[in-house]
Amino acid sequence: RVIPRHVGVLPDFGGLLPEPTEANLGSLKSAVTGEGADIGVALDGDADRFGVVDSRGVYLSPNKALTIILWYLLRHRPGEGGVARSLATTHMLDTIAVSAGREVSETPVGFKYVGELMRKGSILLGGEESGGMSVAGHVPEKDGLVAGLLLVEITSKLGKPLSAVLEDIYGEFGPCFDERIDIPLAEEEKRALIESLKKNPPGEIAGEPVVRTDLRDGVKLVTERDTWVLIRPSGTEPLVRAYVEARSAQAFDKARGWAINIVRGKSG
């Protein structure tokens, strides 16, 4: 049984921002728990990005949903190919892929780079943290409908809330904490910050030595404990985005504070 929500042809999207982020899915959460539904799926205006709420009313970010999808594909639909993800996307995909002997390719931000790899090589899953995903055998473009259908299949096949599936995955591979932080910054300050970081990339993140630096798209720093921070300017808004991920709550809190301080011009 399918219960449609916000499916009418409305030029103003009913006064809602047509972006399937947690901030915009309050009514979906209420509908799922109120109706006793197994899952709620949302799409953006052109259906290339997805959002998902499980039967508990828990919103799962694209990073978490991609983690579940990759784990499911490898365990229940073991096709050929590796993983392609953007610089800003969770390294949990790497952890799961490597455990299964699959290669991981990291691209600049933007699904066009992921799609290019999918056209050229053998990629089982392509994904990005902003809600884009495609799989082997499908078009090499992000498709929110396919992502939503896969999440429905996973819910049906495993018979448990998606957040419970994620708990099982963390039980096997260890937890993961991540966040994207949008920090307002004037255009001149934004350019100066990125130029400064590229000229003199920090050698540590909150006390953890950096072992890898990537300057292809902003500045990404990765430590030996797989704590990482990506700082990159928005191409459309006067702000800088800081992506932070760590494998423990303590390391995440430290890295998050460090990243905010760096963007705001304070010492790390």
How many whole angstroms separate alpha carbon 233 and alpha carbon 34? 40
Check if the beta carbon of residue 21 is closer than 8 Å to that of residue 29: no
- Across 12-26, 38-52, 190-204, least confident range: 12-26
- With CA atoms as reference, report the closest residue to 42 among 53, 30, 54, 58: 53
Tens of pLDDT, residues 109-151: 999 999 999 999 899 999 999 999 999 999 999 999 999 999 9
Per the structure block, which two tokens stand in for 45? Answer: 């205006």
Tens of pLDDT, residues 209-222: 999 999 999 999 99
Write down the pTM of the prediction.
0.95
Does the pLDDT value for residue 204 go beyond 90? yes
Q: How many CB atoms lie within 10 A of CB 135?
A: 23
Mean pLDDT of 168-196: 95
- With CA atoms as reference, report the closest residue to 140 among 199, 81, 205, 58: 81
* Element holding 84 (H helix, E strand): strand 82-86
- With CA atoms as reference, report the closest residue to 66 among 138, 4, 137, 154: 154
DSSP 116: H
Average pLDDT score, the chain: 95
At residue 124, the 3 state secondary structure works out as strand
Tens of pLDDT, residues 20-60: 999 999 999 999 999 999 999 999 999 999 999 999 999 99
Going by DSSP bridges, is the β-strand pair 39-43/204-205 parallel, antiparallel, or unpaired? unpaired
Give pLDDT, residue 25. Answer: 94
